[in-house]
Structure 1
Amino acid sequence: MAKMKDADIQARLQDLPLPKNIVKTIHADALAVGVTDKEMDEIIDRVMVGYKLSQIEACDAAGVVAAQSIGEPGTQMTMRTFHYAGVAEINVTLGLPRLIEIVDARKIPSTPTMTIYLKNDSSLTDENGKQDYAFDRDKAQAVAWDIEATKIDHIASVTTDLAQMKIVININEKAMNKRNMNFMEIAEKFKEKIPDATVEVSEENFQIDLTPKDQRYRDLLQLTKKINDITLKGIEDIKRVVLRKGSDTEEYVLYTEGSALKDVITITGVDMTRTTTNNISEIFSVFGIEAARNAIITEATSTLREQGLNVDIRHIMLVADLMTSDGEVKQIGRHGISGEKASVFARAAFEVTVNHLLDAGMRGNVDELQGVTENVIVGQPIKMGTGDIRLIAKTIDPNDPKLAKSVEKKTVRTRSQKNAADKAELAGSGSAGSVKVSSEDLLEAETADATAEPDEDWEDNVDMDIEETVTETADAEEPKKRRGRPPKAKAEDEE
């Protein structure tokens, strides 16, 4: 059979009730393999069956299931700090503390780090024949120096001359050249950052002398502190940068201690499409709420997986959607999602119970009892599963002319029932003396009923009806007994 064309595949997929990423995957794979029309039908049928099976059932408690799926493995997580991505020089918080940081939406994580990828077009070379940044160590190291914050103690020795009340800075030329820095640029940086001090420069000796305007010991100590805080080159928030090759590629990757996403992506040679940080609030401020949602999913999943725990990503996606649904990253706590619930009981059940109840009482708030927590508190069925179904009874006036007249029910009887009724009537008449029915006639009628076919829904009652009829007829044929006491009892009384 002929293989389907691209336009035909798109036409078959465009109206399917499936997520865009699934449709895109089916389209790409079907086009690459070259499926026929019949094979495409089978693929669509199987995908639809799998998609329907993966959907959640109506009235299911999705939030409770997601909370349990993340919370139960969380009890098995350790609380240590591990080395980051195999880099011994940089530590990062992992395990349970990291998971708490994510769901609490901390503005600054305890150990902020970045993974900086460089531009990796291996076909690009500069005038010196060097490859692009990701494949050339010297160029990658130059990017690292541009990012890492360079302080004075990295490139010079600082001494305090108390006799002459000045600070002497001796620049290490080799360290300065290694970081691609210029002596006069360093001197200008000091003049710019410390305007209330006299700066003397000796370019031949690579020496800088700083003297406070007020010749006091206190001012000299404060000047020393200011010198150590000045960032001569790089980004101030990034304390350290480590250069390593990727685990599965030959390209160089930068790992940082500290995070400054907004400044890093402007550095020449940095690939901003792949560079990431573990500071979710920074991602939100730079790239927006959708990127922050993806960062929450990625960070939570990698934290759990690093501990060897496997949690379905859909549960983590639900938490991420809840945290970012209002257009900003909110924590799951009393200052975020739990504290903004409409239900008073739900807020009180989480934290600071008395305060919530007092405030609600003073304001006269009304709880609609729509959620799980508040219905559990008052002892009602929760609005989940069968508890979400409501039955409504309505009283009907039989005299209402708008209502249709009810259909009279017709009595359906089997032939045996009809015959039994006739027999009983005849037997009753015989007892009165008008008509007599013999036992032979009754037996013949019963035999005819047994061979006859029963009517609609009374098959199970046919045998029972015949037995009852025979019993009644037999009773009717018995002779009447004389009234009064038995002869034996009467004789005993006379004696």
Structure 2
Amino acid sequence: MVSDYIKSYIEKSLEQIKDKLPNKVIQDLRETLLNTDINLTESDVDKIIDLAVKDYQESLIEPGEAVGIVSAQSIGEPGTQMTLRTFHFAGIRELNVTLGLPRLIEIVDARKTPSTPIMTIYLTDEYKYEKEKALEIARKIEYTKIENVISSISVDITNMSITIQLDEEMLKDKGVDPSSVKKIISKLKLGKIRIEDIDDYTFTIYFEEIDNISALFKMREKLLNTKIKGIKGIRRAIVQKKGDEYVIITDGSNLEGVIGIKGVDVNKIQTNNIHEIADTFGIEAAREAIAREIKKVLEEQGLDVDMRHILLVADIMTRTGVVRQIGRHGVTGEKSSVLARAAFEVTVKHLLDAAARGDVEEFKGVVENIIIGQPIRLGTGIVELTMRLNVR
């Protein structure tokens, strides 16, 4: 435990460096020093604070540093070593997840939906320690249609009827009983119908207002695609044990739908769909998700990229309040410079559009100045010197 004297010494020492470190760093440093189990001395406190100040100051960039180019190189160079292997099993053989370069491209292109949307759903204390309770929530979440619980369906064009045989095992797996399936069918807008039971799991639906084969087959498709329960977009929900608790891994993502389910821990829920996060939790959450997803993809490939370079990409993609791609339809295409846009893609179109609008090139950025051979406002180019000659 830290003594009262050392506590006051820590506060006094931190007060002296408040101009050298950001408030968040000082706050983290305070919490760490005050909550340590080590018996600190004045000398220890001085060394820790001096080291923190030194590390922070060494992490700062020099004025004029080309952070964008350095970040692009730091991610682009290791990116050339990434595999083109698209899928692997997500800890369980039933689910695939996109990896490597295809996933990185998905993130920076800000695709509306990932090719393999996946959610990791953590549960509250009441549900996370028992498999049966976790399965109960998984069944609520998994989108189940009639076609998922039948073993066969046959059409009788003579009697204008459809016979459905339910699969006993699938009904049990999905937590559905035959009576609930019939109840759902009876509530559908199918016109005048009559349902007759053949046995516990087989029944026939007679359509009394249908007189042509085409309409009957349309009814068959409608029946197969009828929702029994679950959340749209969640094709599978698999319970998996992580440490001492059970979590649910889903094939498909619907963040807004899942957070309303009782037993789901909203604070820990994860999805790889960036746009869903932005729509549900806001742009700051999306920024954090972009950074984490890029870091995760690179680390899975054994590539080490400084987090600050990844954060710069996430910042650029979200700085306007919406998630934008790095490309001509996003960040690059929205540059104010005509020449910078033209240098990237579809040169003639950009120049013609700019001429038609009467745009003015102000030569404030890097690309446009390089094109015409002017010094750029980076590195030594950021310094302007004037020299006064003593003329006699």
The TM-score, its normalising length taken from structure 1, stands at 0.73
Name the structure 1 match of 2:308: 314
CA contact (8 A) 1:375 1:382 kept: yes
SS of aligned partner of 1:86 = coil
Q: What is the one-letter code of the residue matched to 2:256?
A: K
Find 1:238's aligned residue among 234, 237, 258: 234
Q: What is the one-letter code of the residue matched to 1:44?
A: I
Q: What is the one-letter code of the residue matched to 1:46?
A: L
Name the CA distance, whole Å, in 1 between partners of 2:31 and 2:196: 66
Name the structure 2 match of 1:39: 44
Change (3 A) 1:72 1:253: same
SS of aligned partner of 1:87 = coil
Name the structure 1 match of 2:182: 187
Q: How many Å apart are 1:41 and its aligned residue?
A: 2.3
Find 1:116's aligned residue among 89, 103, 121: 121
SS of aligned partner of 1:245 = strand
Larger mean Cα displacement after TM superposition, 153-162 or 321-330:
153-162
Name the structure 2 match of 1:169: 164
Q: Structure 2 matches for 1:216-255, cutoff 5 A?
A: 216-246=212-242, 249-255=243-249
Q: Structure 2 matches for 1:60-459, cutoff 5 A?
A: 60-119=65-124, 121=125, 132-156=126-150, 157-196=152-191, 198-200=193-195, 202=197, 205-212=200-207, 213-246=209-242, 249-392=243-386
CA contact (8 A) 1:261 1:277 kept: yes
Larger Cα-atom Rg: 1
1:22 correspondence with 2:25: yes
SS of aligned partner of 1:331 = coil
CA contact (8 A) 1:242 1:254 kept: yes
Name the CA distance, whole Å, in 2 between partners of 1:5 and 1:58: 38
Name the CA distance, whole Å, in 2 between partners of 1:379 and 1:191: 76
CA RMSD, Structure 1 to Structure 2 (Å): 2.4
Q: How many Å apart are 1:319 and its aligned residue?
A: 0.5
CA contact (8 A) 1:3 1:36 kept: no
Name the CA distance, whole Å, in 2 between partners of 1:351 and 1:91: 34
Q: What is the one-letter code of the residue matched to 1:187?
A: K
Change (3 A) 1:16 1:391: closer
Name the CA distance, whole Å, in 1 between partners of 2:198 and 2:153: 16
Q: What is the one-letter code of the residue matched to 1:53?
A: E
Deviations 1:42-71 (A, max 9, x none): 221221111111111110100000001111
CA contact (8 A) 2:154 2:164 kept: yes
Name the CA distance, whole Å, in 1 between partners of 2:82 and 2:44: 46
SS of aligned partner of 2:93 = strand
CA contact (8 A) 1:323 1:337 kept: yes
Name the structure 1 match of 2:10: 9
Change (3 A) 1:324 1:203: farther
CA contact (8 A) 1:81 1:91 kept: no
Name the CA distance, whole Å, in 2 between partners of 1:371 and 1:326: 19
Q: What is the one-letter code of the residue matched to 1:61?
A: A
CA contact (8 A) 1:4 1:34 kept: no
Change (3 A) 1:135 1:310: same
1:58 correspondence with 2:63: yes
SS of aligned partner of 2:228 = coil
Name the CA distance, whole Å, in 1 between partners of 2:62 and 2:306: 17
Name the structure 2 match of 1:493: none
Q: What is the one-letter code of the residue matched to 2:366?
A: V
Q: What is the one-letter code of the residue matched to 2:251?
A: E
Name the CA distance, whole Å, in 1 between partners of 2:3 and 2:141: 57
Deviations 1:137-181 (A, max 9, x none): 111111111111112233223222222121112334454344332
Name the CA distance, whole Å, in 2 between partners of 1:239 and 1:193: 22
Deviations 1:313-348 (A, max 9, x none): 110000001111111111111111111111111111
Q: What is the one-letter code of the residue matched to 2:14?
A: L
SS of aligned partner of 1:88 = coil
CA contact (8 A) 2:6 2:41 kept: no
Q: What is the one-letter code of the residue matched to 2:211?
A: Q
Name the CA distance, whole Å, in 2 between partners of 1:152 and 1:12: 68
Name the CA distance, whole Å, in 2 between partners of 1:318 and 1:4: 42
Name the CA distance, whole Å, in 1 between partners of 2:186 and 2:19: 67
Q: Structure 2 matches for 1:459-470, cutoff 5 A?
A: none
Between 1 and 2, higher relative CO (CA 8 Å, sep ≥ 6) is seen in 2
Change (3 A) 1:290 1:101: same
Q: How many Å apart are 1:197 and its aligned residue?
A: 5.5
Q: What is the one-letter code of the residue matched to 1:181?
A: V
Name the CA distance, whole Å, in 1 between partners of 2:307 and 2:226: 45
Q: What is the one-letter code of the residue matched to 2:28?
A: T
User: Where does structure 1 lack aligned partners over 5 or more consecutive residues?
Assistant: 122-131, 399-495
Equivalent pairs counted in the alignment come to 385
CA contact (8 A) 1:160 1:166 kept: yes
CA contact (8 A) 2:165 2:203 kept: yes
SS of aligned partner of 1:53 = helix
Name the CA distance, whole Å, in 1 between partners of 2:77 and 2:174: 49
CA contact (8 A) 2:160 2:210 kept: no
Percent identity of equivalent pairs: 45
Q: How many Å apart are 1:91 and its aligned residue?
A: 0.8
Deviations 1:164-217 (A, max 9, x none): 121112334454344332433322322334343525253963444334432211
Change (3 A) 1:7 1:279: farther
